[in-house]
Structure 1
Amino acid sequence: MTEYQTITFEASGPITRITLNRPDAANGMNHTMTRELADAARRADNDTTKVVVLTGTGRFFCAGGDLKEFASAPDRGAQIKAVADDLHRAISSFARMNAVLITAVNGAAAGAGFSIAVTGDLVLAAESASFTMAYTRVGLSPDGSSSYYLPRLIGITRTKELMLTNRTLSAQDASQWGLVTEVVPDAALADRASKLADQMAATAAGSNGGVKNLLLATFGNGLEEQMELESRLIAERARSADGREGVDAFLAKRKADFA
């Protein structure tokens, strides 16, 4: 267990668990938290980690930015820019690492909490979880990659509704909209996240990273460019140890043992 002030970080074999840990502040993101989160994401981006589980402590997943800290800063704009930049570094690492990011949304996810929750490759939500943008309510605008991911996940019209009206979605609403992979009872969230992490830990990290890279590129590429990326990546995977093991195991009718 590595010591941070505002998060916990625990790496155990192929699984890393990161927990937002400011329960008395609704896990609000201050500069310390986003700086630590960026560092934790960087450390989890390695050849050993296959899964990262991100969750929160207490009743909230994350209530967004810490407005009290922002308000006390001599230059509020500079303070928020620094917080957002570190959060964006964390999200970039999560998006581009081979490891599968599982976000286990244990409670309310607002503002940047909403933004980072839906960046998960697999998003689990407790039944009591809720999702709201909340930025314009305090005269701010979205960050945390929400203006990138939300239009791709739910379309422009629904994104505008969430961002302009600050509508709150229940966990079931978020699931129906395509923002959540699975809704589970509150008491079962941690166990379900652990079981899903174990399942993903048995898969090929390079294959998972290939899926993530392809999907990140798909909206920016034309058909031929995307197919060229597909062919290059699948050839790279075929040459890899995991690719050879996967094909050999399939032909031998045995379970693959990925490194």
Structure 2
Amino acid sequence: MSEMVLWEIRNGVGHIVLNQPDQGNVISTPMAHALAAVVEQAHRTDIGAVLISASGKQFCVGGDIREFVQNREQLPQLIAEILGLLNPTMQTLANLPVPVISAIQGSLGGGGLGLGLCADIVLASNQVFLRGGYSAIGLSPDLGSSYYLSRRAGAARAKYLLMSNRPISAQECLRLGIFDALHEPHELAAQACQLAEELAAGATNSLAHIKKLCDSAHSHDLQQHLQREQQAITDCAIHPNSREGIAAFLEKRQPGFQRN
């Protein structure tokens, strides 16, 4: 594995860490290869949750502008190469059957929006600023940035944020639903790890169904969704975790859930 993106498993949680702090964790071609390899590792590993974080003062500033300048005559080909790697990677992240949490410790923009907001649960430092970045250099969003912003804040607000390119504070992101919770900078990492480990120790079959149901809620009418809910809760009821969870509740103890 490349040192650009670190991968480690602790207490059932797969940790993905963007690790080019001196460069703002830019999404260069080498970074794209490293990230794709680590996400594939997460896909193949038996874990209960994934935590995405970053080293340094910035979470991810987006694409590598220096690489764009160096390849300005072949920019469409460069973008096609990077997205050819990362679009399937983003899809793999979205399809992981476990909770994905992001801990955004520093400012993010460009493709960093997609990496930070693709998580099921987005935690952030209360000192963070979010900025679109794309319109300032005449480009449009990638890596799901417009998709996740629209899902979290609504299409109208996403257009405003991406078109105006104005920085948005962590508090405003929380109000808009872009972030799920804010923490003091020195507390963020510990809080994110604690949540990830709690979820990894939970009934992961139940969490997988919750994830699928919520992600697909706007893709079906109510009747179809009720049917999907019925099938999901039936599958959960068959699983040993439901019996363990009910027994633990009655016995007033912590449940010992199975991962699969």
User: TM-score category by the smaller chain?
Assistant: over 0.9
Give 1:209's aligned residue: 208
For the residues of structure 2 that align with 1:66 and 1:147, how far apart are their CA atoms? Answer: 19
Amino acid at match of 1:102: I
| TM-fit CA distance, 1:46 | 4.6
Residues 60, 112 of structure 2: 8 Å contact kept: yes
Give 1:219's aligned residue: 218
1:167 aligned counterpart, secondary structure: coil
Give 1:233's aligned residue: 232
| TM-fit CA distance, 1:91 | 2.1
1:28-107 counterparts in 2 under 5 A? 28-46=26-44, 48-73=46-71, 75-107=74-106
Residues 95, 212 of structure 1: 8 Å contact kept: no
Give 2:9's aligned residue: 11
CA distance 1:126–1:89, shift in 2 (3 Å): same
Amino acid at match of 2:220: N
| TM-fit CA distance, 1:161 | 0.3
Structure 1: stretches of 5+ with no match in the other structure: none
What is the aligned-residue identity percentage? 30
Amino acid at match of 2:26: G
Give 1:244's aligned residue: 243
For the residues of structure 2 that align with 1:90 and 1:125, how far apart are their CA atoms? Answer: 23
Aligned residues: 257
1:91 aligned counterpart, secondary structure: helix
- Deviates most, 34-43 or 220-229: 34-43
**CA deviation map 1:100-125 (0-9, x unaligned):** 11111011101111222111111111
Residues 50, 200 of structure 1: 8 Å contact kept: yes
For the residues of structure 1 that align with 2:133 and 2:6, how far apart are their CA atoms? Answer: 26
Cα RMSD over matched residues?
A: 1.7
Give 1:258's aligned residue: 257
For the residues of structure 2 that align with 1:245 and 1:39, how far apart are their CA atoms? Answer: 36
Detail structure 1 runs of 4+ shifted over 6 Å in the superposition.
none
**CA deviation map 1:193-224 (0-9, x unaligned):** 12212221221111111111112211111111
**CA deviation map 1:122-176 (0-9, x unaligned):** 1111122111111011010001112222222111211110111012111111111
**CA deviation map 1:221-249 (0-9, x unaligned):** 11112112111111112222323322333
Amino acid at match of 2:179: V
Amino acid at match of 1:84: L
For the residues of structure 2 that align with 1:231 and 1:213, how far apart are their CA atoms? Answer: 13
Give 2:142's aligned residue: 143
Residues 26, 63 of structure 1: 8 Å contact kept: yes
1:197 lines up with 2:187 in the alignment = no
Superposition TM-score, scaled by structure 2 size = 0.92
Superposition TM-score, scaled by structure 1 size = 0.93
Amino acid at match of 1:10: E
CA distance 1:244–1:226, shift in 2 (3 Å): same
2:219 aligned counterpart, secondary structure: coil
Structure 2: stretches of 5+ with no match in the other structure: none
